Structure 1
C-alpha cells in the first residue's frame, strides 16, 4: 500500500491527492471542474478542498499567494510550497505519524500521555492506526500502547521506522528531537565506507536518518542481537571493524561488549539489506563480490546457480547481461537478507510504487523465476526459500526486469507508414521508429488493415475509406520537435498491447 494511504485518513488523503495533481499540471488556468472529474468529486467538494489547500499554504509560508482564481480556476504556477513540504505539513496532523514521532522522541512514552498531548481518544488512535498496524504485521511487527512502541525483530523495526520518517519528510526537516543532527552525521560518517548510500546526495541524507534511529533506540536500551547467520561473512573478516562503534560513541556512551557486537553487526547487515548498488566503481560493491565469493556460503552458491540457470533459460540470447557486477552484487544482497531474516521485511519500494497491471514480460520472467525457486526450495541447504519464496521472486524480478523487459521480450507494434514515395520525406520517420526498438514498421498496405496497431500517414485518405483504422496524421511540415507526441502515442499502444489479461 502506498505510504500516504497508510498515514493519512480519507479527508487528508483527498487533499494531498488534489494538491499533487495541481502541482503536476503547472498551469495558470486549471479548471476546478476538470479536477473534480479526475478525482470523481463534485464541483462544490473540489472547490472547498482547493480553498482549504490555499489556506494551508499560508500556514506553511505566511506570504504565500492565493492559488484560487476567478471563474472556477486555479493558478498552480503560483505554488511556492513543494509536494514534500505539503506532505509533511499534513502528516504533522496525522495520528500514525504523530504516534511514531512521539515514541521515538520521548523517554517514557505511553498512550495516555500521547492522547493528552494530541487531544485524541484512545479509540481514535486505535482506529486511525489500523492500516499501518496491518502493514507492519506482515513483517512480524506490532504497535504497543501501554508503553508506546513498535516491537518485533529490532532490525525490521528500525527499517520500518526509517521508511516512515524518510518518506514523510524526504530530508526537508530533521524530525529527531532527541538526537542532534551533528551526532547522527558523525556516526554515519564513521561507517560511510560500508554504505553505497554515502556516495550519493540523497543517500547520504538517508544514512543520517538511519544513524539517528540507531541512536534513538540504543539510548532507550533497545538493542539488536548478533545473528549467527552473519558468521560466514563477518567472522575473522578484517573489513568488518567491530571496535569502531564504541570508539565512535566514546567512553560515556560506549555499549557493553555483547550489545556492541550485536549493534555493530546490524550496521554491517544494514549495508547489505537492500539492492543498494547503482555505481559501477563502488568500492563496497567490489568488497561484497570478494567477500561472498571467497568464503563458503549458501548465499553466493545460490546466486551462482541462479545465474547459470538464467543464462540458459532467461537470457540465453544475451547471457553477458548477467555478468555485470552491479546486478550480481544486488542479487547477493537480496539473497543474503532473506537467508538471514527468513521472512518478509520492510522495503521502501513497496510504499512508493503504484501497483501496475502486469505486462507479458513481467509474467514471463516471473514464471521462470518461480520454476527455479520451486526446485531449489526442495534442496536441504536452501530450505529457507520455502517461507520467503514469493518475496524472493518479487525482489529478483525487480532487479532483473530492467535488463529483461526489452522490446525483444514483448510483442512489437506493427506500424504501417503511408507517405509520399520519396526517401527524403520518410527517412526521419523510419529512423525514429527503428530506434525505438519495439516497433516493426513497413510501407502501408491496405489489405493488412486488420493487423496494424497504428498507421502513420501524411494523408487522411486511408481513414476516409476505413473509418476504424487507427491512424496518426503526420503533416509533412512536422519536424523533430513533433516526434514527442508520436512517441507518447506509440508508448501507450505498446503498453496496452503487452498488458497481461488475467
Structure 2
C-alpha cells in the first residue's frame, strides 16, 4: 500500500483494523492502536462509510454513539477482498496499472476515462512521482509509463501487484495464466525443484511482468552486478529455461538470463542441492564477488559474537547470504524496503540480543563510506540475515538467561506441570528452580502472596493461570530480559 496517500493509508488501516473482529470498536481504542487523533478518525470513518456505500454492496459501517463502530459484511466476503478493492480504486494504483497495461495511453485520456479532474490528476501524479523518485524511477505522462533501469521497473510492478493481490487474483489482463503455469511447471519439472503454492504464484507474477515488458519491447540493457552471476547459473537457465526467454532478441539474451537470477534466486537457490551450492560458493570465493565478500565479512563478525557456532566454507548458508546480498545490491531503491521494519520487529521481539548484534554488524558492513556501492538499507540485510540464522540455529540460548523461582501451594505434580507450561509457552531462555530461590533470582512466581522477597522480583498469578496471567508473565520476563541486554 506504499502508493496510497496519507488520507488513503489512514482509511485503509482503519478498515483493516475494524474488520479483524466482529465487535464494536470505540474510537478511543482505534486512536490508541493506530496512533491517529480522534478527529482524524471520525473524518476517516465518514469517508469509509461513503466508500463502502458506493463500492461494497451489503457492507456498511454501523455507528453507535458512546459504543463505537462496527464493520458489517457478509460472512463469505473476506476482509482482504474489501481491502483489495479499496487499494485498486486509488488513483495512484490506476495510474501504475494503466502504465503497465496500456503503454500508449496519454495523461488526458487517463483522467477523462476515469472521470478525474485535470487538477486532481496532477495532484495525485505529483505524490506518485515523489514515491517513485525515492526508488529512482519516474512516471512519464505522454504516454504514461514508469521510466528507469528495467530491472528496477519490473520489480516495482511485481511488488505493486503482489502487495495488492497476493495471489488471490490474476491481475494481468493480457497474459494467460494457464500458459505461464504450463511453462513454469515444465521448468520446475526439468530442474526437479519443488515450490509451494505461494512461491509458485510469486514466480508466476514475476514471469507475467517480464512477458508484458517484453511485449512492449522493454528489455534489460544494464545490470550493475552482472559479473557476479556464476556461469553455472546462466547455463542452468539456458539448459532448462529456454522457453522463459525465447521471445528475447539475441542482443539482450545474456542480460535477460542474468535478470532471471534475480527474479528466481530467492526462491530457487535455497532449494539447490548441497553439491550445487558448494560449486556456486566456490565460484564466488574464487572471483571474490562483492556479495561473497560482504558475506565473508559478516561471518567473521558473527563468529566473534558466537564463537561456538561453526559455519563451514561449503555450508549452504553461504549461498543463502550471497543471494540475499545480490538482491539487495542489485535492487537498492525498492520502496517496499520501508515495510521491512515491521517484519523485522516480529523476529526482534523474540531475539533482541541477536538483533542487537546483527544490527551493529550490518550498520558497519553497509556504511556508505565503507561499502562504496549503493545498496538496500541495512535493515533489509539485518532482517534477511536474522531469518536465515534463526531458521538454522537455536539462538534462544544466546539470549540473556532468566532465573525464575516457581512456587505453589498445590502438590508437586501441579508444580511440575506449571514449570513445563512456562517453558513450552514462553519463547525465552528461562532456567526454573522449584526447590529453592537462586542467589541471583530474576523473578519469583507463585499464586500465593506468602512468598517473601523484594516486590520487584515477585509475580503473583492465579491458579490455574488465566490467559491474562500468561500475557502479564511474558511481558514481565521480556522486560527483565531487555534490561539485561548489553550488561555482560
TM band (smaller chain): 0.7 to 0.9
Residue in 1 that maps onto 2:211: 215
- Contact 1:84/1:170, CA 8 A, preserved across alignment: no
- Contact 2:60/2:72, CA 8 A, preserved across alignment: no
Structure 1: state its 5+ residue gaps. Answer: 379-384
The alpha carbon displacement at 1:77 in A equals 8.2
Structure 1-normalised TM-score?
A: 0.76
- Cα distance in structure 2, aligned partners of 1:218 and 1:373: 34
Q: 2:462 matched to 1:493?
A: no
Residue in 2 that maps onto 1:111: 107
Residue in 1 that maps onto 2:461: 473
Residue in 2 that maps onto 1:168: 164
Change (3 A) 1:348 1:493: farther
Q: 2:309 matched to 1:318?
A: yes
Deviations 1:267-320 (A, max 9, x none): 233222x4x3697xx247764442342463223752673475156313212325
Q: 2:253 matched to 1:267?
A: no
Superposed CA RMSD? 4.4
Equivalent position to 2:62, from 59, 68, 74: 68
Equivalent position to 2:141, from 145, 149, 165: 145
Residue in 2 that maps onto 1:400: 386
Residue in 1 that maps onto 2:420: 431
The alpha carbon displacement at 1:59 in A equals 5.8
The alpha carbon displacement at 1:20 in A equals 1.6
Map of 1:82-161 to 2, 5 A cutoff? 82-129=78-125, 132-161=128-157
Alignment coverage as a number of residue pairs: 471
Residue in 1 that maps onto 2:13: 17
Q: For 1:7, what is the secondary structure of its paired residue?
A: coil
Map of 1:39-78 to 2, 5 A cutoff? 39=34, 53=48, 62=57, 64=58, 68=62, 72=67
Residue in 2 that maps onto 1:381: none
- Contact 1:96/1:129, CA 8 A, preserved across alignment: yes
The alpha carbon displacement at 1:98 in A equals 0.9
- Contact 1:416/1:442, CA 8 A, preserved across alignment: yes
Equivalent position to 1:256, from 246, 249, 253: 249
- Contact 1:362/1:405, CA 8 A, preserved across alignment: no
Residue in 2 that maps onto 1:8: 4
Change (3 A) 1:229 1:361: closer
Deviations 1:414-470 (A, max 9, x none): 43434238532321222334454422434698998xx8764422213459x977665
The alpha carbon displacement at 1:167 in A equals 0.3
Deviations 1:102-150 (A, max 9, x none): 1111130222222222233455344435555444434422222233222
Residue in 1 that maps onto 2:447: 458
- Cα distance in structure 1, aligned partners of 2:160 and 2:127: 13
Deviations 1:73-98 (A, max 9, x none): 55668553323212221122212111
Q: For 1:471, what is the secondary structure of its paired residue?
A: strand
Change (3 A) 1:439 1:255: closer
- Contact 1:417/1:456, CA 8 A, preserved across alignment: yes
Change (3 A) 1:302 1:40: closer
- Contact 1:67/1:76, CA 8 A, preserved across alignment: yes
- Cα distance in structure 1, aligned partners of 2:468 and 2:38: 31
Q: 2:325 matched to 1:335?
A: yes
Q: Which has the higher contact order (CA 8 A, sep 6+)?
A: 1
Structure 2-normalised TM-score?
A: 0.78
Structure 2: state its 5+ residue gaps. Answer: none
Q: For 1:415, what is the secondary structure of its paired residue?
A: strand
Q: 2:383 matched to 1:387?
A: no
Residue in 2 that maps onto 1:362: 355
